Amino acid sequence: MLTKFETKSNRVKGLSFHPKRPWILASLHSGVIQLWDYRMGTLIDRFDEHDGPVRGVHFHKSQPLFVTGGDDYKIKVWNYKLRRCLFTLLGHLDYIRTVQFHQEYPWIVSASDDQTIRIWNWQSRTCISVLTGHNHYVMCASFHIKEDLVVSASLDQTVRVWDISGLRKKTVSPADEVLRLPQMNSDLFGGGDAVVKYVLEGHDRGVNWAAFHPTLPLIVSGADDRQVKLWRMNDTKAWEVDTLRGHVNNVSCVMFHARQDIIVSNSEDKSIRVWDMSKRTGVQTFRREHDRFWILSAHPEVNLLAAGHDSGMIVFKLERERPAYCTHAGVLYYVKDRYLRTYDYAQQRDNPLISIRRPGATGANQGARSMTYNPAENAVLINTDAEGGSYELFMIPKDAGNNRAEPQVTVDADSKRGTGSCAVFVARNRFAVLDKSSHQLVIKNLRNEVTKKCTPPCASTDAIFYAGTGSLLCRSDDKVVLFDVQQRHAVAELSTPYVKYVVWSPDMNQVALLSKHAIIVANKRLQHACTVHETIRVKSGAWDDSGVFVYTTLNHIKYCLPNGDSGIIRTLDVPVYITKVFGNSVFCLDRDGKNRTIEIDTTEYMFKLALLHRKYDQVLQFIRGSALCGQSIIAYLQQKGFPEVALHFVRDERTRFNLAVECGNIDVALTSASEIDEKEIWYRLGVEALRQGNHQIVEFAYQKTKNFERLSFLYLITGNIEKLGKMMKIAEMRQDVMGRFHNALYLGDVRERCKILQETKQFGLAYATAVAHDLKDRVEELEELLGDRVPDVSAMVADAKLMMPPQPILREDNWPLLTVTKGFFEGGAPLATEDPEQVAGSGAFGMSAEEMVGAEDMEGGWGDEDALELPGDGAGAGMQYPADPAEGGEDEEEDGGWEMEDLELPPDAEMSAGLPAESSFFVAPSQGVPVSVRWSQKCGIAGQQAAAGSFDAAMRLLNRQLGIASFEVMKPYFLDLAAASGALLPGLPGMTAMATPMGSGWSAEDAPAPPASPALLYSMAILEDNLKKAYKLTTEGKFTEALKLFAGLLHMIPLVVVDTRKEVDDVKELQNIAREYSNALRIELRRKEEKEDVIRGAELAAYFTHCNLQPIHLSLSLRSAMSIFFKLKNFDTAATFCRRLLELNPPPKVALQARQVLTACEKTPGEAVRVTYDARNPFVVCAKTLTPIYRGTKDVQCPCCAAHFVESAKGEICTTCSMGKIGADASGLTCSPSQLRDR
């Protein structure tokens, strides 16, 4: 049995597979119906409307419906898309045992303890027939898949077959029924539409189940007489064929297998049995320890079965469906139907080679499991699970398979057999076999003679795989070892999940290790390259010619690039096993052993591969000639640092703008901003243009956003005095007093400043300004206005200086821009848009403002939102300030005042002289690679990645190594590490400090160079110092503070980096200490919280003494437990604590007290109170429930801190370290570069 999925729940009484989706319905004795995805292992939905147990459940073949029947006498029809019950059918008077939809008609058949079978029309929601005749409970009823028959089983010891052809005729042509005489009440006495065809008698007790064969005229039944009976029927009669005996309790359910000539039954004897129909004998038995089986269900299309038992259900296969195959030089060798066959990829011709004379037993999972081919000797090794693991060696005759005119003629070949697992060739005339009984690798020649024996590198080695001439890959539970057979030593080792298959690249330089839910890619020396995790089972894989690994899951063909990037190529209807990938063709075998060719689109992964290898000419071809598009490609290019490439795939202007800003392409950003025309977009464009020094585009962006203050300051620093004067006039039109005053300051216009102050009634300030700048006419005018309130400004005027704006050094059209090279992807490749007028800009960074304004059909640069009249007369009166680009133009008067055309920028000729006229794009100069980025690329330890600021990489490493799933508690440690790896050097006054990376292991004698690795905040010395503090607090009884320190140690340890293997061992020992003390202190604190519960407090005190503590702390815990149990009068247990305390050689005073207590306990032995504690049975304490887990009880561990938990806590976050996911797979702590070198 190959278990695919298992649940834990109340007793399962009904099961039904969905015909298309990977779903199964389970109806429980508790009244709940569960909908599970058995492929993902997740509960999709639950339905709870029945009162009492639900015994029957069935999916409709094509509609989104299922039907249930329960002990509340109700039949309910549900819609799983709407997630509710549609209606209820009432009519039965007792428990409903089974319900089933008809394959073709809108019927439901139900069996009930009211001794009737009812057929319902679920569309009209009425009962259309009642089948009466049984005189006891009807345990099941089901339609024949093709014929108009119903079979039922009852506790009256009979199986009945009912003919419902009359009901079908009535339903198909109901007009004929109108001419008939009215019948009696069919609901009470049963109608004439369904009649009994056969009554099968033979069981000695009540029959629990009966089922039709899907194609043959056979019926199988199971009963309380512990027998399974096989019946045959024809048009006139039915008779018993044989009886299958073997069950030792009531047979609950029995059915025919849809694909094989076998019968499957289950029973209350806690077993599932498989019977050979032809031999009428049992071939397999599967047992559970404590659970009785109640129900069986078979998938209508896939080779899957399900069985419900007392504590849940299992979904399983009877045998493996994966064909055995191997590939060599364009030819596939595989096993099918007792033949070794070949398939030529080039000619696509299938040909049988030799017959394999010994078939595997039916349903016993003993067919060919794997095979290897030796081209030098034309030999094949085929491995099977028969006899606990065996192999056969076939020497293929040279003329085998050459008779292509009659391919059905095959040659019987003599085979050499042997016992052992995983036979593989290791040389031209040698092969290796793993002998698990003696735990040895046996090397044999082609005559099947032993030539050498050696011990595997690991004691837990359970499989071997080919790894090149003279080498093997040896698999154990958590790693794979590269083993040199000749030298008899391990060459390399790689921590992996449990590996099921190994796929080498054609050049043997790369290997893919396939586990159940992961793919690990490594080189030929087992140096780890990348890991891809999958939620669906990984089934097979093959390398294509470009070095990309193409693999299949249950429902997808996917790819994995050398850097670990993966993606979906296409979906699959049924699982397949890839044998070869060539170009756009995937050659594969399906589960029936048929060769299939699937065409795939490799554009996506070839494009990513070209980017990865920096083959930009190929990337350019993909851009021009392919239809790559979509958010996934754009996100990938952004993630990998190629926003300029992503620009070519984007048509959405907002996305184009973001990409253009990211890669510094200011021209594309300008075009997109013009299309979007939003204030926030123009602001971002201005920021980016200012960063590049293109102040003309900055000016245009400020104009679009009407950011007058920034625009004035821009004119100041660029020395554009003329436009500053216009800005002051615009501020006056807008009645912006502060804007006018600032512009007057920028211009050094003292008279305008005085005028503004005077207009705003600031006469004192206006007077001081006029006096300071010797404006006599203004002074006299203000003195008249002030009268006797003229301020005394003599002291201020003595030191007065004229405030004039600084003069700009350069007055160019644009600031000097760096000369940059044209980007590879920006030369001749057109953008995503087809319209050449939409291509950004006119060709250079120094684009003129007139061109920008012209592109917007704009002659005035502000807008029409503010219609302001200028004070004064003549042309100035009535002038409007246009804010919309369409405002202002040819129709305006020539002397219309401060019109917006005055803000037009200088002509293009002054700016772009010497630049190419055609449209082209440039990328901004890239900054140097920060040291932190180099650290993250070179360092492979989590602590170094965190110090480099690469938190994502650090978290991925910690998740893979220690199974850490919750990083909240580690956030402050990550931030401290990142802060400690750099320093700020103060510069000149007014300048920002300079950031400097801090390297580890620096000395004054080192040559000047960037540090190779970051300085680390946490070291062994700090950990040891914290440990001493925690010990001291524990001794003082400050448990809460001590617990915080021990928890901090657990959080710091994953981020520590040490040098030697001895220090690695010290770190692991320190982790064990911190874990033990954390659990011990939590136990003691819980005991103090639960003072009122004396018994629980005593139990916790006892558990406290079983933590691995220092002698002084252990003696204190023993003294506490001794006192508690002595007061409880549990003298036997108190005596054990006394003896353990005396073994620690405590101080004389403590020893005297222990001996006195021991003497008192021995005089009056006994236990006054029963507690959950057994000192004689070794145990560990569950860190969640704080209860003992005794030896032999299954438990799970936290991969991070190794704390133990009860099995029900699997998948939760560890309560000891608050980081690890309990029960998760992890490779182990890596905290030293020496560990990476060893791998």
What are the DSSP calls for 964-975, one per residue? B---GGGHHHHH
Q: Are 833 and 651 in contact (CB under 8 A)?
A: yes
Q: What is the pLDDT of residue 76?
A: 96
Q: What are φ and ψ of residue 714, in 5° steps?
A: -60, -45
Residue recorded with tokens 């236990």 = 1167
3-class state of residue 806 by DSSP: coil
Q: How far is CA 1095 from CA 1099, 1165, 1174, 1190, in A?
A: 6, 19, 14, 19
Tokens describing residue 802:
């004229």
Q: Are 531 and 564 in contact (CB under 8 A)?
A: yes
Reported as a single tens digit per residue, the pLDDT across 412-436 is: 445 688 888 889 999 999 999 998 8
Q: How far is CA 1043 from CA 403, 752, 1048, 1049, 1212, in A?
A: 79, 72, 8, 10, 21
3-class state of residue 680 by DSSP: helix
**Nearest-CA neighbor of 1060 among 1220, 926, 1234, 894?**
1234
Q: What is the pLDDT of residue 438?
A: 86
Band of pLDDT at residue 617, cut at 50, 70 and 90: confident
How many whole angstroms separate alpha carbon 615 and alpha carbon 285? 59
How many whole angstroms separate alpha carbon 840 and alpha carbon 863? 24
Q: What are φ and ψ of residue 112, in 5° steps?
A: -140, 160
Band of pLDDT at residue 905, cut at 50, 70 and 90: very low
∠ CA 586-592-593, nearest 5°, is: 55
Average pLDDT estimate for 901-909 = 40
From the CB of residue 71, how many other CB atoms can be counted at a distance below 10 Å?
A: 19
How many whole angstroms separate alpha carbon 926 and alpha carbon 632? 25
Q: Are 346 and 335 in contact (CB under 8 A)?
A: no
Tokens describing residue 677:
């025309």
How many whole angstroms separate alpha carbon 294 and alpha carbon 313? 10
Residue recorded with tokens 């075998």 = 589
How many whole angstroms separate alpha carbon 1058 and alpha carbon 359? 57
Strand order across the beta sheet in which 339-344 lies: 325-328, 331-336, 339-344, 349-355, 411-412
855 pLDDT higher than 80: no
Reported as a single tens digit per residue, the pLDDT across 646-689 is: 677 777 788 888 888 887 788 888 888 888 888 888 888 888 88
Q: What is the pLDDT of residue 880?
A: 35
How many whole angstroms separate alpha carbon 967 and alpha carbon 947? 16
How many whole angstroms separate alpha carbon 597 and alpha carbon 293? 42
Band of pLDDT at residue 361, cut at 50, 70 and 90: very low
Average pLDDT estimate for 516-520 = 93
Q: What is the pLDDT of residue 337?
A: 80
Tokens describing residue 164:
């419902």
How many whole angstroms separate alpha carbon 77 and alpha carbon 87? 6
Tokens describing residue 341:
């066959």
From the CB of residue 308, how many other CB atoms can be counted at a distance below 10 Å?
A: 29
3-class state of residue 276 by DSSP: strand
The alpha carbon of residue 255 and the mean position of all alpha carbons in its chain are separated, in whole angstroms, by 38
Q: How far is CA 454 from CA 158, 306, 448, 479, 484, in A?
A: 63, 43, 17, 20, 11
Reported as a single tens digit per residue, the pLDDT across 1227-1238 is: 888 888 887 766
Reported as a single tens digit per residue, the pLDDT across 133-190 is: 999 999 999 999 999 999 999 999 999 999 998 888 887 655 444 444 444 444 444 4
> Is residue 1129 left, alpha or beta, with left meaning phi > 0 and alpha meaning psi from -120 to 50?
left
273 pLDDT higher than 60: yes
Q: Are 268 and 293 in contact (CB under 8 A)?
A: yes
How many whole angstroms separate alpha carbon 881 and alpha carbon 867? 6
Rg (C-alpha) for the chain, rounded Å, is 42
How many whole angstroms separate alpha carbon 241 and alpha carbon 973? 75
The alpha carbon of residue 1135 and the mean position of all alpha carbons in its chain are separated, in whole angstroms, by 53
Q: What is the pLDDT of residue 389?
A: 83
What are the DSSP calls for 196-238, one per residue? EEEEEE--SS-EEEEEE-SSSSEEEEEETTSEEEEEEE-SS-E
How many whole angstroms separate alpha carbon 791 and alpha carbon 797? 12
The alpha carbon of residue 1088 and the mean position of all alpha carbons in its chain are separated, in whole angstroms, by 42
Band of pLDDT at residue 800, cut at 50, 70 and 90: low
How many whole angstroms separate alpha carbon 270 and alpha carbon 262? 20
Query: Which of 141-145, 446-450, 977-981 has the lowest average pLDDT?
Result: 977-981
Q: Are 724 and 705 in contact (CB under 8 A)?
A: no
Q: Work out the burial of residue 558: count CB atoms within 10 Å of its CB; fewer than 13 is exposed, 13-18 middle, 19 or more buried.
A: buried
How many whole angstroms separate alpha carbon 397 and alpha carbon 160? 57
Q: Residues for the chain: how many in total?
A: 1239
Residue 80 is given by DSSP the state T
Q: Are 92 and 66 in contact (CB under 8 A)?
A: no
Q: Are 973 and 958 in contact (CB under 8 A)?
A: no
How many helices (H) and strands (E) are present in the chain, helices listed first? Answer: 31, 62
How many whole angstroms separate alpha carbon 142 and alpha carbon 98? 8
Band of pLDDT at residue 586, cut at 50, 70 and 90: very high
The alpha carbon of residue 320 and the mean position of all alpha carbons in its chain are separated, in whole angstroms, by 27
Q: Which helix (H) or strand (E) holds 569?
A: strand 566-571
Tokens describing residue 1135:
């005596």
The alpha carbon of residue 315 and the mean position of all alpha carbons in its chain are separated, in whole angstroms, by 24
Q: Are 138 and 111 in contact (CB under 8 A)?
A: yes
The pTM for the full model equals 0.57
Average pLDDT estimate for 46-53 = 93
Q: Which of 249-258, 392-401, 932-941 has the highest mean pLDDT?
A: 249-258
Strands (E), 933-1092: 982-985, 994-997
Three-state helix/strand/coil letters over 387-400? HHCEEEEEECCCCC
The alpha carbon of residue 1145 and the mean position of all alpha carbons in its chain are separated, in whole angstroms, by 54
∠ CA 867-873-879, nearest 5°, is: 20
How many whole angstroms separate alpha carbon 280 and alpha carbon 266? 16
Band of pLDDT at residue 813, cut at 50, 70 and 90: low
Per-chain mean pLDDT for the chain:
82
Of the chain, the percentage scoring pLDDT greater than 70 comes to 83
